Amino acid sequence: MSLRRRLAEFGFEANEDYEFALRCLLDTQPKGLRCLHVAGDSGRRKTAFAQALGQAWEYPHVVYVDCARPAAPPPQIVYANPDEATPEEPDSGPLTPFERALTEASAYSEADRTLLIVDQLQALDFPDQLRLFRFVQDREWTAAGATVYAHPRNLLLVLISEEALYHPLQKSSFRIWTDPGAGVVDFKPADFGLGHDAQWLMDALARVFGALGGGPTFSEYALLIDDITHRIRTVEHLRTAIYGRIEHLQRELLQAHELDPLLAEAVAEINRWVGVDEIELSSDGAGLRAEG
């Protein structure tokens, strides 16, 4: 099964094919750790991609940390007799979520394939970003006085940020773009259990999607086909269904009058394919004829 289908199984749908990009990342071994920079403007879509990738590739361990989430306060210690309690001050404070994630991922990687997702990296303090860069280069991580080593073949580090990455981290990473784009919509009627007679309809829809600069994923197209089969009969029906079913379309383009001829052509193909009953009054007014 293709990676695109596997990612869709775990909640990330796209028409783009990431297999070549990821092969570029995995087929080379850098000096330090392999880093994947998941870029894009669609917020948590980047997170959805990283999580789906971990499941699609069946990583035994997926470690996730959101750097924008505040750390939980340390537990409060209550002494039965405060006057007699003389607690010793610890040498260092508890691990932060970021430190704990890197420690756990490094330890897991000693024996198993491990995916470490560092999300919302822009919220990480700059000293910790420097530590992360050194970790990528040296594969060595020290926190709370303990040092662990990441296995370079087992650990894949995924970086997600809403701002530009710290330059050395970017130079150490392979970057991919996960926003919905104008990926090729190459579906065939048989993909949806339709006959060859639906090809004219799908060609007309492809021209609409081309003008919109993007198209539906497989599940979105399947829902649109259901709308076409049972509900869509006018240009406004089609416009409403496309907007309702397809994520990240520019509504301004969909509403533009310049798109009307393409929508009208698609609706004509829909009505021809579905078969719409037309009621025609005979010339002498004596009867009605139904065509379908």
CA distance readout (Å), 41 to 45, 102, 161, 178, 248: 9, 26, 10, 8, 11
Sign of the Cα pseudo-torsion (180, 181, 184, 187, in order): positive
Strand partners, 289: 280
- What pLDDT shows up at residue 80? 63
* Residue 185 predicted with pLDDT over 80: no
Where residue 174 falls among pLDDT bands split at 50, 70, 90?
A: very high
Residue 124 has pLDDT above 50, yes or no: yes
Per-residue pLDDT tens digits for 88-101 = 544 556 899 999 99
Kindly report the three-state secondary structure assignment for every residue of the chain: CCHHHHHHHCCCCCCCCCHHHHHHHHCCCCCCCEEEEEECCCCCHHHHHHHHHHHHCCCCEEEEEECCCCCCCCCCCCCCCCCCCCCCCCCCCCCCHHHHHHHHHHHHHCCCCEEEEEECHHHCCHHHHHHHHHHHHHCEEEECCEEEECCCCCEEEEEECCCCCCHHHHHCCEEEECCCCCCCCCCCHHHHCCCHHHHHHHHHHHHHHHHHCCCCCHHHHHHHHHHHHHCCCCHHHHHHHHHHHCCCCCHHHHHCHHHHHHHHHHHHHHHHHHCCCEEEECCCCCCEEEEC
* Range of lowest pLDDT (35-39, 113-117, 136-140, 214-218): 214-218
Q: Is the confidence at residue 78, as pLDDT, over 90?
A: no
Q: How confident is the model at residue 15 (pLDDT cuts 50, 70, 90)?
A: confident
pLDDT band at 7, cuts 50/70/90?
A: very high
pLDDT score at 291: 43
Residue with tokens 């704990």: 100
Residue 157 to residue 255: CA distance in whole angstroms: 42
Specify the range with the lowest mean pLDDT, choosing from 159-168, 170-179, 183-192, 220-229.
183-192
